[in-house]
Copies of this chain bind each other. A is one copy, B any other.
Amino acid sequence: MATKAEKTREYILQASYPLFAKNGFKQVTMKDVCEATNLSRGGLYSHFPGTAELFQELLKTVSVKDAMDFDREMEKGSSAAVILENALTQMEEEMKRPQDSLSVAIYEYAETVDGSVLMQYNSDAVRRWSELIRYGMKRGEFREVDIDEIVNMILFSYQGIRMWSRIIQVKPETVRAIMSHIRKELIKR
């Protein structure tokens, strides 16, 4: 069972997510987090020494959550096509809600604090997607593609949209077009 300290920590992470999503990393202060959580300065600082540590922890939570989906589904022996479809649906939903995206915050964090965090984030995603595609090919559900090419295309077009959609209104058709391209590349007809 989670201790009180763990629960508070979890609560801080949840409450600060929208702050970072909305304002990026640089503009968020510990004072903002105090206000969003209704914690005292002392209360907050006893959990996180600063926004950098808080944000780093937040990133871990987000990427572990994502990672679990693929791995767990593959272990269960789920259909690769279904796992892909769920992932694309989730990506499509995320791309439609740019205000909820941590993309800009991650970018600013990497720029101002630590770039290695972004490299880790990227190589985790590459690993997960590569495994899924290998799995789908092995099961005969996916076409025999060049894994590296497809994975990079998926990840960078997703990131491109995430960044741009913070600034311009990216039409739902545009997002759908990219999802459809990925689907066609992978799924055997």
Q: Check A6 for interface membership: any CB of B closer than 8 A.
A: no
A150–B174 CA distance with the chains assembled, in angstroms: 11
Pick the residue among B149, B163, B178, B180 that contacts A178 (CB under 8 A): B149
Main secondary structure on A side of the interface with B: helix
A152 neighbours in B (Cβ, 8 Å)? 157, 174, 177-178, 181
A156 neighbours in B (Cβ, 8 Å)? 156-158, 160-161, 164, 178
Q: Check A36 for interface membership: any CB of B closer than 8 A.
A: no
Which of chain B's residues has its CB closest to A159's CB? B160
A151–B115 CA distance with the chains assembled, in angstroms: 30
Q: Check A122 for interface membership: any CB of B closer than 8 A.
A: yes
Q: Check A1 for interface membership: any CB of B closer than 8 A.
A: no
Kindly report how many copies of this chain are found in the complex they form together. Answer: 2
Q: Check A88 for interface membership: any CB of B closer than 8 A.
A: no
A111–B157 CA distance with the chains assembled, in angstroms: 20
Chain A residues engaging chain B, CB cutoff 8 angstroms: 107, 110-111, 115, 118-119, 122, 146, 148-150, 152-153, 155-161, 163-164, 166-169, 173-174, 177-178, 180-181, 184
Selected A-B contacts with CB under 8 Å, 23 pairs: A110-B167, A110-B168, A111-B166, A119-B169, A122-B164, A146-B180, A146-B181, A149-B181, A149-B184, A150-B181, A152-B181, A153-B153, A153-B177, A155-B160, A156-B157, A156-B158, A156-B160, A156-B161, A156-B164, A157-B157, A160-B160, A160-B163, A163-B163
